[in-house]
Amino acid sequence: MKIFLDTSDVKVIRKYCEIGLIDGVTTNPTLMKQAGRNPVEVISEISSLFNSDASISAEVVADSAKDMIIQAEQYHSINKNVTIKVPCTYEGLKACKKLSDRDIKVNVTLIFSLNQSILAVKAGATYISPFIGRCEDNDIDGIDLISSIRKIFKLNNITKTHILAASIRNIDHINDSYKAGADIVTLPPKIFEEMYKHFLTDQGLAQFDKDWKELNK
Ligand code: G3P
């Protein structure tokens, strides 16, 4: 069960890395725009915060597989832990197949159907990213999609491709994604915060602090 952070904010990633529970990072062009910095520099800085087992997704943006591969090579040369993210399109899948054949890890993103998942597996993807929140926005059951992908993976003994639940908008999405068989969830930092917070923890802690002070008066 892995947890990734879904952000391009290096400062925030550095802060959350300190807890030792973060296994990787996903970025996308929108998150890069929010960071407002050179994407190659951002990916270099993020990847240096993690060991070689981590996965840092860097998304390529181009119309052709050929141009996607050129960008991918630049990201791949940064560090072993950089994963290339491609969209689930004809050119994206073509790039995925070529990169995977060279043992370069690829995350096929913007997944909304089982058909797309099957093609991404065939293209050798290391990760596929079903977008749970955006599925819901469009009346698609994203959690059911994860269950169906997991079922197909079991039936076909697929272990090389990992299900990375993305577009996570609340803590129920996290629980439901794992229950449905996701290997990884990628979380906006504010959703990660919500994972460990509970009002009963705060209440209990206040009482313990009070009793401890009284004992030590
Ligand atoms: O991981 C994908 C994510 O960044 C998209 O999230 O909330 O814009 O659908 P959202």
Mean pLDDT, residues 198-203: 97
| Dihedral of alpha carbons 175, 176, 180, 184, sign | negative
How many angstroms does the Cα of residue 25 sit away from the middle of ligand 1? 13
Residue 201 confidence (pLDDT): 97
> Could you list the active site residues?
85
171: confidence class by pLDDT, cuts 50, 70, 90:
very high
| Dihedral of alpha carbons 120, 76, 16, 42, sign | negative
Atom of ligand 1 nearest to the CA of 28: 4
Residue 99 confidence (pLDDT): 98
How many angstroms does the Cα of residue 7 sit away from the middle of ligand 1? 10
Q: List ligand 1's pocket residues with C-beta within 6 A.
A: 6, 26, 28, 131, 133-134, 166-167, 169, 186
| Dihedral of alpha carbons 29, 14, 197, 54, sign | positive
Quote the CA–CA distance of 150 and 131 in Å, as a whole number: 15
How many angstroms does the Cα of residue 103 sit away from the middle of ligand 1? 27
Owning domain of residue 149: 2-215
Atom of ligand 1 nearest to the CA of 134: 9
Residue 39 confidence (pLDDT): 97
Per residue in 82-139, pLDDT (tens digit) is: 999 999 999 999 999 999 999 999 999 999 999 999 999 999 999 999 999 999 999 9
**Best residue among 5, 9, 25, 28 to mutate for probing ligand 1, ranked by most atoms within 8 Å of CB:** 28
CATH of residue 47:
3.20.20.70
How many angstroms does the Cα of residue 176 sit away from the middle of ligand 1? 17
Mean pLDDT, residues 70-89: 98
Per residue in 9-61, pLDDT (tens digit) is: 999 999 999 999 999 999 999 999 999 999 999 999 999 999 999 999 999 99
- Atom 9 of ligand 1: nearest residue by CA position: 167
The total of structural domains in the chain comes to: 1
Place of tokens 């059911």: 144
214: confidence class by pLDDT, cuts 50, 70, 90:
very high
Quote the CA–CA distance of 125 and 122 in Å, as a whole number: 8
